[in-house]
Amino acid sequence: MYHKLQYISQGNTIEEQLYNIHQALDFGCDWIQMRFKNQTEKNSFALAEAVKLLCEEYLATFIVNDNLYLAQEIAADGIHLGLSDMKIDEARSILGKSKIIGGTANTFEDIQNHVRNGCDYIGLGPFRYTVTKEKLSPILGLSGYFEILQKMKKNKIEIPVYAIGGITLRDINPLMETGIHGVAVSGIITESTEKKILIQQLNEKLYANVIA
């Protein structure tokens, strides 16, 4: 089963990244997506190697953002690809069936294409404006999620969908009501001074209606 809370890592240096990831894992986040843009191969590899060990220690899922060859080299659990990154089917042919491949989507058509090409989960967004991404697709808001999830239902498309983009704690309940599987967050965890309490509250809300 895919965990409902994904932490997309932040930090300009290996040290900052590791600190943030370690904190997220320590306080109950079971899924790390390593996002370390515009770095040297050496730095990316060094960070990925350290994050893989951490995720193994915490039994967490480790996904690399965008860099397929790094994900392959480090034997990560999988990769997350943006709309302008490598195509999903191409990544699948390289990584094989056992690895997780996630894809970013902004429309119902994006989701259809991803599913057709063998994607495992969708990062659907952005929910609202976020400073994390430089090139932002049109904002979806609650109504956008509801509309897209309804279309998926009507077309019998079943795939875990994660909301992404500027999500706060109070957004979780209304977002879960649209039918999404979980959320992928970044700044909310990185910037929190009470990470333990925040992650606990996020998980409580995300898993509130799950029958054990």
Task: Give pLDDT tens digits for 8-67.
Answer: 999 999 999 999 999 999 999 999 999 999 999 999 999 999 999 999 999 999 999 999
Please state, for a pLDDT cut of 70, what percent of the chain lies above it. 95
Cα angle vertex 133, ends 77, 189, to 5°?
A: 65
Exposure of 99 in the CB half-sphere (CA atoms within 13 A): 25
pLDDT bracket for residue 132 (50, 70, 90)? low
Residue 208: count of CB within 10 angstroms of its CB: 10
Residues 149-167 have pLDDT tens digits of 999 999 999 999 999 999 9
80-84, 119-123, 127-131, 153-157: which range is least confident on average? 127-131
Phi-psi region of 156 (alpha: psi -120 to 50; beta: other; left: phi over 0): left
pLDDT at 83 exceeding the cut of 60: yes
The average pLDDT across 78-85 equals: 95
- Residue 104 to residue 161: CA distance in whole angstroms: 10
Q: Are 80 and 33 in contact (CB under 8 A)?
A: yes
Tell me the three state secondary structure of residue 98: coil
Q: Give me the residue label for tokens 């909310």.
A: 188
Cis (ω within 30 of 0) for the bond into 126? yes
Q: What is the mean pLDDT of the chain?
A: 95
pLDDT bracket for residue 130 (50, 70, 90)? confident
pLDDT bracket for residue 212 (50, 70, 90)? very low
Q: What is the pLDDT of residue 48?
A: 98
* Range 7-32 burial, b when 16+ CB lie within 10 A, else e: bbbbbeebeebbebbbbbbebbbbbb
Q: List domains and CATH numbers for the chain.
A: 5-205 (3.20.20.70)
Exposure of 73 in the CB half-sphere (CA atoms within 13 A): 12
